[in-house]
Amino acid sequence: MCERDGFVQRKGSTMSSFRSDPLPGPWKPVRRQREVEARLLAAMLACRDHLVHWYPRVLVPALDPHVRTPVAALLLVWERWDFASGPCPRCDGRAVATCFGGVMSIGSVSGCCTACGGVVTRDGGGMSWVKHCCDKATAGTPYRIPFRQFPGGWALRGEPRDLVAVLHELGASGVPNARSRAFRRR
């Protein structure tokens, strides 16, 4: 995997993480598993430094196929926003956000455990709060999570062809096939 070569330079990572208000509660398990997505997310985390430094603009597929999301934006949100990452309630592995959504005063962040593939969720503020926190996590960089206006949200959905190709180029192990049925739009 990418982490084996000790590359630690962090381009553009000058902001430290911030604490949410309200503080995040623990992830709640959902009765679904996404093992294929978990392998992709684990490879992204393992290659995080390489992706942010060399391939920050590789696109991550989103719920809205017209929305263009750079991989650096998602990686920065995972790293800097405490609501977007945390221990899995099933196995204590690292769970990361793959979906943000909500309306005016009610919202949620859902994700997937990179170890067991379990789907997790936690409640948060409304859509404007979620967008503000994502913008704060990517502040000082040219990268943003582009949100749909109504209903508000963003989700990792679709075939991650470019991302998978880059992860293979970086030597990541366990990377799933980009055309797997698991990545078809749901």
The 10s digit of each residue's pLDDT in 116-149 is 999 999 988 888 888 889 999 999 999 999 887 6
- Beta carbons of 153 and 62 less than 8 angstroms apart: no
Nearest of 51, 85, 81 to residue 69 by alpha carbon: 51
Tokens representing residue 116 in the block = 């067991």
CA distances from 158 to 1, 135, 140, 165, 181 (A): 24, 23, 28, 15, 10
pLDDT over 80 (residue 21): no
pTM for the predicted model, two decimal places? 0.86
Q: Within 14-157, where are the H helices?
A: 35-46, 48-54, 71-80, 127-137
What pLDDT is stored for residue 163 in this prediction?
95
pLDDT tens, position by position, 102-124: 777 788 899 999 999 999 999 88
Q: Is the pLDDT of residue 184 over 80?
A: no
Both tokens of 107, joined, read 């919202």
**Residues 70, 148: Cα–Cα separation, whole Å:** 16
Which pLDDT value is given to residue 137? Answer: 94
Place of tokens 């000790």: 6
| Residues 155, 44 contacting (CB under 8 angstroms) | no
- Per DSSP, the three-state class of 81 is strand
Spatial neighbors of 88 by CB under 8 A, at least 6 apart, are 27, 29, 94, 95, 113, 115, 116, 118, 120
